[in-house]
Amino acid sequence: MPRPTITTERLVLRPFTPADAPAIQRLASDRAIAASTLLIPHPYPEGAAAEWIEGHDDTSHNHIFAITPRDGGEAMGAIGLHVDSNHDRAEIGYWIGVPYWNRGYVTEAANAIVDYVFNTLNLNRVFAFHFTANPASGRVLQKIGMKREGTMRQHIVKWGEHVDVDYYGAVREEWVKVRA
């Protein structure tokens, strides 16, 4: 099933196209992005963005969207879901380029994606984690109504170091009550 386009007040979340590769290549090459994400390496290899975009599969359990300004313009980052239909849940992940930090874009995009999880995909649970050393990501999750569920100590190895992660989650029943 092709991915929808989701429009918010300031953003359009849409499937990536090959034309997004130069912006993603430039933004993902920033060490600060790699430091705050699990899967983005540093240095970011030349051509990695194009290869990543080409690998998106509309039939998979991954729903990956470009975060773009509503008034047009290039991709500012990415937000996505990994759906586990066996357990009626999805994991959310995101990143946005450093020039777009502290403007509320990720909060707006994440809120729309959680609505998508509950209202379009009709799943029961959504969750996310962030490196404990990146509290800004935790604030995003709190702002969209997810609840902190705990810390997994030394749960991830990033650049050869064991790091702690904080988990957040929301379930449909609570989300519907908050939105009512």
**Confidence at residue 141, expressed as pLDDT on a 0 to 100 scale:** 97
Token reading at 149:
């569920």
**Confidence at residue 1, expressed as pLDDT on a 0 to 100 scale:** 58
> Three-class SS of residue 175?
helix
Please give the Cα distance from 16 to 75 (Å, whole number).
8
**Confidence at residue 175, expressed as pLDDT on a 0 to 100 scale:** 87
Going from the N-terminus, what domains does the chain have, and what CATH number goes with each? 6-127 (3.40.630.30)
**Confidence at residue 60, expressed as pLDDT on a 0 to 100 scale:** 67
Divide the 180 residues of the chain into consecutive groups of 10 and give the mean pLDDT of each group: 88 97 98 95 96 84 95 96 96 98 98 96 97 96 96 96 98 85
Please give the Cα distance from 65 to 44 (Å, whole number).
20
Please give the Cα distance from 146 to 127 (Å, whole number).
8
Is 24 exposed, middle or buried (CB count within 10 Å of its CB: 0-12, 13-18, 19+)?
A: buried
Residues 174/123/66/8 CA torsion (nearest 10 deg): -50
Q: What is the pTM of this model?
A: 0.94
**Confidence at residue 58, expressed as pLDDT on a 0 to 100 scale:** 67
**Confidence at residue 115, expressed as pLDDT on a 0 to 100 scale:** 95
